Structure 1
Amino acid sequence: MTTVSMPAPAIRGSHRQLAGTGTLLRLALRRDRLMMPIWVLVVGGMVSSGAGSLGSLYGTPAARAELARSMSADSSLRSLYGPVFGDSLGGLVAWRFGTFAAVLTGVMSMVIVVRHTREEEETGRQELLSAAMVGRRAPLTAALLTALVANAAVALVVTAGLSGQGSGGALALGLAVGGTGMVFATSAAIAAQLTESARAAKGLTAAVIGAAFVLRAAGDASTNEGSSVLTWLSPIGWAENVRAFAGERWWVLLLLAVAILVQAAAAYALTARRDVGMSFLPSRPGPAEGRLSTAYGLAWRLQRGSVLGWTTGFLLAGIVFGGITEGAADLVGDNEQARAIFERMGGQSGLTGAFLASMTGMLGMVAALYAVASVLRLHGEETSQRAEPVLANAVGRIRWATGHLVIAFGGAALIMTAGGLGLSIGYGHELPAVLGASLVQLPAIWLLGGLTVLLYGAFPKAAVASWAAAGLALALGWIGPALKLPQWVMDLSPFGHLPKLPGTEMDWTPVLLLTVLAAALTATGLAALRRRDLAG
């Protein structure tokens, strides 16, 4: 009668730690019902559509073998895309899209996990939930399960989309991409325990993702035979070394699984040792006397880390893209269809000019994500009730909002300038032309920022939909030319209306129209913000 009574309390205690997990999971999936499908379709669709686009470009085994040979011989292209392990159509898809898909799933996972852990604590909602029948580990478990659902969906889309190239290779690539996403999901879970704000947690996780990409890039650039030690230090390097469609190495997936389990265990250990709302790395206390005399100074203080991080990233990315500009001819070779895709992306200005124009366009579409995130900082300040003390003083809503918008729109100009300078440095010449091509992207970026202001000011609950608009523009610019989408579909993106610089004639009409429309959207959003009630 004494041998069966001891484990029961431990089991009941374990159940209490996870109480409410199912309810929180359903809530998280409901909150992400728009954002998650967009991420899944963009990432999974990008990889799945690769077989069709590459198949139309390199339709013969000889053409694919020549592409694989030339890409493996170029260290700049290896650093960007990774080595080519197989010259089959599936192998080329894994080479061309696998690395970027792994990075994007990492970003998706970071957003999901931080949103449902640290952001919930920062806004005070988690404290209210914890007062009910919610276990201590339930929020973290629900967040990780939500990320697991998203990454499993991406893996399923990739596997289904590429199954025609070989079921084994498709499954390997899907698991590699989804597994990498879960590695960074657990990294974000640890960051959420260490930091005091959602912004800091995202910044720390983004630094981890960036470091993993840099390690992988440095390792792949250093050798064209196999993978170097640096590559094996990166989870993104593990994903490429699964070698989908090129003699799959299934055992490499165990590295991803071990990393997920170890990091998840660390996150659970950390969450058990802190109170709700607290962190292991508290923010540094400010000076005894405040030094922020204006709303603009406050906005800069809140967003300066993001601006500097994006600026540095764009400078480095520009240098990398500029460095491979000369290799664009090797990438395309005599393939007229590949040349046509570059010209659809970058205009009829010769191969080098079209490549530079397509790269500045891609930088602009990514910069739109910064603009959306920076404008939505207003929404975060409002919902976390940090805006109320500011507005309780002699600061009007418009002046408060304008401070953040100056950082959003001016910051976009700064990071695009950094990207243009990086392209010029990497390419080695044509600074005025390349810098002008970068800056001409600003009206489209500002238009998406203005749309975000409108949604936030007039329909704050729908403000998150601005991510869908930015994601659509990115997806159209990334895969639209390869899929030969109709022009009216491509015109849904504001970037589709901009002149394709450098190399083509400058057309000021769409630039001015987009700028005026962006200003109108911003003014309308600010007017709506002035009239509506703030979140209480």
Structure 2
Amino acid sequence: MTAASTTTTAGSAARPRPGTGRTDALAGTGTLIRFALRRDRVRLPVWIAALLLGTLSTADSYAELYSAPEDRANAVKTMSSPAGLAMTGPRHYLDDYTFGAMLGHQMLGFVAVLVGLMSVLVIARHTRAEEETGRAELLRSAVVGRHAHLAAALAVALLANLVLALLLALGLTGLGIEGIGASGSLLYGACHAAVGLVFAAVAAVTVQVTAHARGATGMALAAIGVAYVLRAAGDSGPAGALSWLSPIGWTQRTYVYVDDDWWPLLLCLALAVACAAAGFVLSTRRDVGAGLRPERLGAPHASDALGTPLGFALRLHRGMFTGFGAGLFLMGAMYGSILGQADDMLKDIDQIQEALERLGGSSTAESFAAMIMVVVTAVAAVYVVMTALRPRTEETAGRAEPLLATALSRERWVGAHLAVAVGCGTLVLLLAGLGMGLAGAASTGDAVLVPELIGAALAYAPALWVTAGVATVLFGWFPRASAAAWAVPAYAFVVGYLGQILRFPDWMNNLSPFGHVPRLPAADMEWAPLLVLTAVAAGLVWLGLAGFRRRDLETK
């Protein structure tokens, strides 16, 4: 009787519309939304909480750092340079630099990138990744319509961004800081929701183009990078026309807490609707599991390197390495370009000056570079976590089992991915240090900064190796908790960078592997902590591999 009822229910849900001869394209959307929220019951709250708490703590720190009007006046002088505007936002915010204007100027463009990242990952996870694992095809063979997966993913992204917007509006209003009122806070939250929806819709297009979730995510992240670069180039230029080509620039043109203009968000809404509609249309032009871009034909015979575990791992990771390498080189160059102005920018900010003095260094440029290096290495740690957790992706997708059914041992298979994480992670650090060093030398006229900043970046390599070790332990012993490895780079950024300014206790810094690295070029080189970190990394890798040998594979 149960089977008959189930069959009847399924048949009713999948019954063709009268006169159309086809099923409802959105059938099952509500169920998929509930399922996606169930799967993301931890991920999305963590994302939202991190973005919310980071914004609230920053707004509160502004009220302490720039409590006197002359402090804000000095900040206007330092932020009005082209390099300062490229790092923050349009010049109009500087006309009345209240705490609210400061928040919109310095934080809105930066957090918009993170909100875009959250939205892109949501779309890719619940659309292309479902097709790549074969689950989407299985569901669509029954009662789920053609557009249900994409519609559900967009709905979840919309809900996450609206919740974030509401919490930002309530939280900022509740701080009671002068210049941060209720109406401006509501617009500030709406800006985040608007830019998040834009990049969610962009991801709805990219997941149609390629057959792989990582490729679709990379294309969408490249769009975020282009939007940020256009915004930075426009804000640092005389006319600012390029900023009008970027959705991040549109949100900043609301001039939140200054003019509170809502109309630029209509541009975000229009672009989001257009891209989402394009995503639905393009999804009808391809087969399930395939992409619009045809797969390139490979060579008739694999190279000798591709026949080895390491060579195959390098092939899998080369696209992500190229993207992170180029991105961190540019990121380092952006930070390096303002080293020559660091003294003027920071001389009147007491708490930052105290943080720089604690770091030491013969000049403000060196101390500031040592502080900023934590941010760069935290981004490099993101790459390491993604690479080190690739075996988990291969396992859940069912591709690890046939590989390990051959003569390939578990240690060699995981070890190849770890070798890429460790080796390419170190190369990414080198590129970041090179970019910062070259731009810093051009900004300050001191060529010595090039080898100094390369060495400062490479000093963090053992901390990256520990990060890879933590990911390996989680994968080997607690595979379902592998996502907890993301706490390492997140904690390193919050405590290593913000903690220097907000004076977090030393014990919090000591909990992070990055907290034990000497802050070159401001501090003196110390080899002992780096050797200890290397030993800890080796121990964690050994422990993780031991766990992987002892547990069962997740099979399909």
TM range, smaller chain:
over 0.9
Cα pair 1:343 1:349 within 8 Å, conserved: no
Q: Which runs of 5+ in 1 are unaligned?
A: 1-7
Return the match for 1:58 from 51, 60, 66: 66
Of the structure 1 ranges 351-360 and 413-422, higher mean CA displacement relative to structure 2 is found in 351-360
Give the Cα–Cα distance (whole angstroms) in 2 for the partners of residues 232 and 502 of structure 1.
39
Give the Cα–Cα distance (whole angstroms) in 2 for the partners of residues 24 and 520 of structure 1.
42
Give the Cα–Cα distance (whole angstroms) in 2 for the partners of residues 124 and 81 of structure 1.
43
Alignment correspondent of 2:503: 484
Alignment correspondent of 1:459: 478
Alignment correspondent of 1:433: 452
Q: CA deviation at 1:476?
A: 2.4
Cα pair 2:71 2:348 within 8 Å, conserved: no
Q: CA deviation at 1:350?
A: 4.4
Of the structure 1 ranges 275-284 and 97-106, higher mean CA displacement relative to structure 2 is found in 275-284
Cα pair 2:17 2:23 within 8 Å, conserved: no
Alignment correspondent of 2:153: 143
Of the structure 1 ranges 280-289 and 369-378, higher mean CA displacement relative to structure 2 is found in 280-289
1:517 aligns with 2:529: no
1:275 aligns with 2:283: no
Q: Which runs of 5+ in 2 are unaligned?
A: 1-15, 442-446
Give SS of 1:499's match.
coil
Give the Cα–Cα distance (whole angstroms) in 1 for the partners of residues 344 and 34 of structure 2.
50
Name the % identity.
42
Cα pair 1:102 1:178 within 8 Å, conserved: no
**Cα RMSD, aligned residues only:** 2.0
Report the AA paired with residue 378 of structure 2. M
Alignment correspondent of 1:293: 307
Give the Cα–Cα distance (whole angstroms) in 2 for the partners of residues 466 and 276 of structure 1.
32
Alignment correspondent of 2:123: 113
Alignment correspondent of 1:198: 213
After TM superposition, list the pairs within 5 Å mapping 1:156-305 onto structure 2: 156-163=166-173, 164=176, 165-223=180-238, 228-291=240-303, 292-305=306-319
From the superposition, tell whether residues 343 and 452 of structure 1 become closer, same or farther in structure 2 (CA, over 3 Å). Answer: farther
From the superposition, tell whether residues 278 and 475 of structure 1 become closer, same or farther in structure 2 (CA, over 3 Å). Answer: same
Cα pair 1:48 1:157 within 8 Å, conserved: no
Q: CA deviation at 1:460?
A: 1.2
Give the Cα–Cα distance (whole angstroms) in 2 for the partners of residues 375 and 240 of structure 1.
36
Cα pair 1:42 1:475 within 8 Å, conserved: no
Q: What CA deviation, in whole Å up to 9, does each residue of 1:299-345 have, x standing for no partner?
A: 1111111112111111111111111011222221233222124456x
Report the AA paired with residue 63 of structure 1. D
If the length of structure 2 is used for normalisation, what is the TM-score?
0.90
Of the structure 1 ranges 98-107 and 134-143, higher mean CA displacement relative to structure 2 is found in 134-143
Q: What CA deviation, in whole Å up to 9, does each residue of 1:9-45 have, x standing for no partner?
A: 4899999322222221122122222221221122222
Aligned length: 524
Give SS of 2:533's match.
helix
From the superposition, tell whether residues 325 and 46 of structure 1 become closer, same or farther in structure 2 (CA, over 3 Å). Answer: same
Extract structure 1 runs of 4+ deviating beyond 6 A: 10-15
Alignment correspondent of 1:310: 324
After TM superposition, list the pairs within 5 Å mapping 1:369-518 onto structure 2: 369-428=382-441, 429=447, 430-518=449-537
Of the structure 1 ranges 445-454 and 508-517, higher mean CA displacement relative to structure 2 is found in 508-517
If the length of structure 1 is used for normalisation, what is the TM-score?
0.93
Ranked by relative contact order (alpha carbons within 8 Å, sequence separation 6 or more), the top structure is: 1
Cα pair 1:374 1:407 within 8 Å, conserved: yes
Alignment correspondent of 1:75: 82
Q: What CA deviation, in whole Å up to 9, does each residue of 1:458-486 have, x standing for no partner?
A: 11111112123332222323433333322
After TM superposition, list the pairs within 5 Å mapping 1:322-361 onto structure 2: 322-343=336-357, 346-347=359-360, 350-361=363-374
Report the AA paired with residue 341 of structure 2. G
Report the AA paired with residue 230 of structure 2. L
Give the Cα–Cα distance (whole angstroms) in 2 for the partners of residues 14 and 350 of structure 1.
71
Alignment correspondent of 2:144: 134
Cα pair 1:322 1:427 within 8 Å, conserved: yes
Give SS of 1:464's match.
helix
Give SS of 2:422's match.
helix
Report the AA paired with residue 497 of structure 1. H
Q: What CA deviation, in whole Å up to 9, does each residue of 1:236-281 have, x standing for no partner?
A: 1111111111111110110111111111111111123322112101
Report the AA paired with residue 36 of structure 2. A
Return the match for 2:135 from 113, 118, 125: 125
After TM superposition, list the pairs within 5 Å mapping 1:34-45 onto structure 2: 34-45=42-53
Alignment correspondent of 1:152: 162
Q: CA deviation at 1:522?
A: 0.9
Give SS of 1:463's match.
helix
